[in-house]
C-alpha cells in the first residue's frame, strides 16, 4: 500500500483497525477527539462498533468487559481523562486483561491546557492506580511510529495479558505525516483466549476477578504479577540512539516528538564540531536503564529534555548513576522547547569555563 498523508490521531485509529480492534469505548477530550471521530466513521466498514461512553470512568470499565470476553479493545484519551481511568486500569492490570489505551498528553496539572506536554511521565510509568502494577508504556516520535507501536501494542497486550499505553503528546496527535499501514490482521485467526469469560460452554466457569480476601493468596498473586513484570523488563526494553558512536561531551535524553526537536538542535551543534548524541527511550516502562547507562559512559555529562519540570530525571539518574552530571531543560504548559533552545543548552554546557570566578559585581548590572 502506498503512503498516505494522515493526521496522527486518525492514523492511530486506522492502525488499531489494522491490528484487529473492532471495539472502541471513549469520551471526547481535546487533543485526541479525532481518534473516536475517525473510528465512529471507520468501524461500520469493518464490522466494528464505536461506543461513546458517559465518562472516562465508564469507558475504561467498558474495556474491562470487552477485554474480559476476549476482544481487542481500545480507548484513547488525554491527561485529565487518563486520571479518571486510574481505577479501572488497576482492576484491568490485576485481572491481567489485555487492553490498549492511548494518552495524547496535554499540559497539566488540573484542567491545565490543551497544548502538548510530557508531564504525565510519572503517572504512566509508576503504575497510575492503586496497588502494585505496571503498564507497558510506548512513546512514538512520529506518526509512522505511532502506527507501528499501536499495531505492536495489541500483540504485546495479548502476549503479556497486560494493559499497554501508547503515550504521545498533542503534536503526535495533531500533525500530518505520510504513513505506511501494516497488513490487516485476520481477527478470526488470532489465538483463542482460553481464560476469557465468554460463556461457560463445555467447561467450568471462567472468573475475571481481583478480590483476594486471603492475605497469603493476594501476596502470591502480587509476586506472580511481579515475576511477570520482571520478565517484561527483561524482554521489552526499546530505545534508539543517534550520534552516539564516539565520545561525547553531552548525551541528550529525550522521547517522543521532543526527541525529534532535539535531533535538529543536535545536528546544528554537531555540524559546528560539537560532540553530542541522542538517547531516545521508546519504551518508557520498561525503561531501557542498562542501555542508557552503557551509552552514557561515553559522555561527560547528560542532558535530559522534556516538556515537564523534569519527570524523566528519576529514570535518567537511575540509569547513569549518581557520579554522572545530569542537567535538565524543560518547558511546560504547552510551551515546546525549540531546536535553538536545545542548541543554546548544548553550547552553555560545553562552553570553556574561565579559570577563575569573575569578581562579584556590586549592585545591579546595566
Partner 1 sequence: MEKVFEYPESLTRNQTHYCPGCTHGVIHRLVAESLDELGLRERAVAVAPVGCAVLAYNYFNCDCFEAAHGRAPAVATGAKRCRPDLIVYTYQGDGDLASIGTAEIVHAANRGERITVIFVNNAIYGMTGGQMAPTTMPGQVTSTSPFGRNTEQAGFPMRVAELLATLRGKAFIARVAVHTPMQVVRAKAAVRRAFELQAKNECFTFVELLSTCPTNWGMTPNEATDWLETNMMPYYKLGVFKDPDDFVPYSVTGG
The binding site for partner 1 (CB under 8 A) comprises: 22-23, 25, 49, 51, 53-55, 57-59, 61-71, 73, 87-88, 91, 197-202, 205-211
- Bridge-partner residues for 365, per DSSP? none
Which residue, 205 or 354, is less far from partner 1 as judged by CB? 205
110-to-118, 173, 333 alpha-carbon distances in Å: 14, 21, 11
Which residue, 55 or 338, is less far from partner 1 as judged by CB? 55
Q: How far is the CB of 72 from partner 1 (least distance, A)?
A: 9
Helix or strand or coil: residue 254?
A: coil
Helix or strand or coil: residue 32?
A: coil
Which residue, 87 or 344, is less far from partner 1 as judged by CB? 87
Q: Following DSSP, what letter does each residue of 300-335 receive, concatenated?
A: EEEEEEESSSSTTHHHHHHHH-TTSEEEEEE--TT-
Q: How far is the CB of 89 from partner 1 (least distance, A)?
A: 11
Q: How far is the CB of 88 from partner 1 (least distance, A)?
A: 7
Cβ atoms of 329 and 305 closer than 8 Å: yes
Which residue, 54 or 245, is less far from partner 1 as judged by CB? 54
Question: Within 13 Å, how many C-alpha atoms sit on residue 3's CB side?
Answer: 8
Q: How far is the CB of 66 from partner 1 (least distance, A)?
A: 4
Q: How far is the CB of 12 from partner 1 (least distance, A)?
A: 20
Q: How far is the CB of 324 from partner 1 (least distance, A)?
A: 43
Q: How far is the CB of 70 from partner 1 (least distance, A)?
A: 8
Which residues in 83-103 are b (16+ Cβ under 10 Å) and which e? bbbbbbbbbbbbbbbbbbbbb
Which residue, 43 or 279, is less far from partner 1 as judged by CB? 43
Which residue, 70 or 170, is less far from partner 1 as judged by CB? 70
The grid coordinates of residue 31 equal 487533543
Which residue, 8 or 26, is less far from partner 1 as judged by CB? 26
Cβ atoms of 315 and 285 closer than 8 Å: no
Phi-psi region of 226 (alpha: psi -120 to 50; beta: other; left: phi over 0): alpha
Amino acid at each position: 500500500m502506498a503512503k498516505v498523508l494522515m493526521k496522527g490521531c486518525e492514523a492511530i485509529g486506522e492502525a488499531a483497525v489494522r491490528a484487529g480492534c473492532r471495539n472502541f469505548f471513549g469520551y471526547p477530550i481535546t487533543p485526541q477527539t479525532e481518534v473516536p471521530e475517525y473510528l465512529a466513521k471507520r468501524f461500520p466498514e469493518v464490522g466494528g462498533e464505536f461506543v461513546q461512553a458517559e465518562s472516562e470512568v465508564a469507558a475504561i470499565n467498558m474495556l474491562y468487559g470487552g477485554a474480559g470476553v476476549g476482544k481487542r479493545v481500545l480507548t484513547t484519551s488525554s491527561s485529565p481523562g487518563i486520571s479518571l481511568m486510574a481505577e479501572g486500569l488497576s482492576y484491568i492490570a490485576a485481572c491481567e486483561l489485555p487492553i490498549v489505551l492511548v494518552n495524547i498528553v496535554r499540559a497539566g496539572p488540573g484542567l491545565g491546557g490543551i497544548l502538548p506536554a510530557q508531564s504525565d511521565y510519572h503517572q504512566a510509568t509508576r503504575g497510575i492506580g492503586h496497588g502494585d502494577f505496571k503498564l507497558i508504556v510506548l512513546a512514538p516520535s512520529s506518526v509512522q511510529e505511532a502506527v507501528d507501536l499501536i499495531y505492536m501494542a495489541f500483540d504485546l497486550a495479548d502476549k503479556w495479558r497486560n494493559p499497554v499505553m501508547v503515550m504521545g503528546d498533542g503534536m503526535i496527535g495533531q500533525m500530518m505525516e505520510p504513513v505506511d499501514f501494516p497488513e490487516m490482521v485476520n481477527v478470526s485467526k488470532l489465538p483463542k483466549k482460553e481464560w476469557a469469560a465468554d460463556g461457560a460452554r463445555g467447561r467450568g466457569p471462567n472468573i475475571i476477578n481481583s478480590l483476594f480476601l486471603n492475605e497469603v493468596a493476594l501476596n502470591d498473586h502480587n509476586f506472580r504479577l511481579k515475576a511477570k513484570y520482571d520478565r517484561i523488563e527483561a524482554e521489552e526494553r526499546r530505545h534508539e540512539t543517534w550520534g552516539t558512536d564516539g565520545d561525547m561531551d553531552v548525551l541528550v535524553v529525550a522521547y517522543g516528538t521532543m526527541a525529534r526537536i532535539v535531533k535538529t538542535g543536535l545536528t546544528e551543534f554537531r555540524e559546528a564540531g560539537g560532540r553530542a548524541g541522542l538517547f531516545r527511550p521508546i519504551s518508557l516502562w520498561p525503561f531501557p536503564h542498562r542501555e542508557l547507562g552503557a551509552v552514557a559512559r561515553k559522555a561527560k555529562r547528560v542532558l535530559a529534555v522534556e516538556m515537564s519540570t523534569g519527570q524523566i530525571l528519576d529514570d535518567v539518574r537511575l540509569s547513569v548513576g549518581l557520579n554522572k552530571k545530569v542537567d535538565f531543560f524543560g518547558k511546560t504548559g504547552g510551551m515546546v522547547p525549540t531546536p535553538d533552545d536545545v542548541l543554546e543548552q548544548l553550547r552553555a554546557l560545553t562552553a570553556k569555563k574561565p579559570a577563575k570566578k569573575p569578581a562579584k559585581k556590586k549592585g545591579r548590572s546595566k
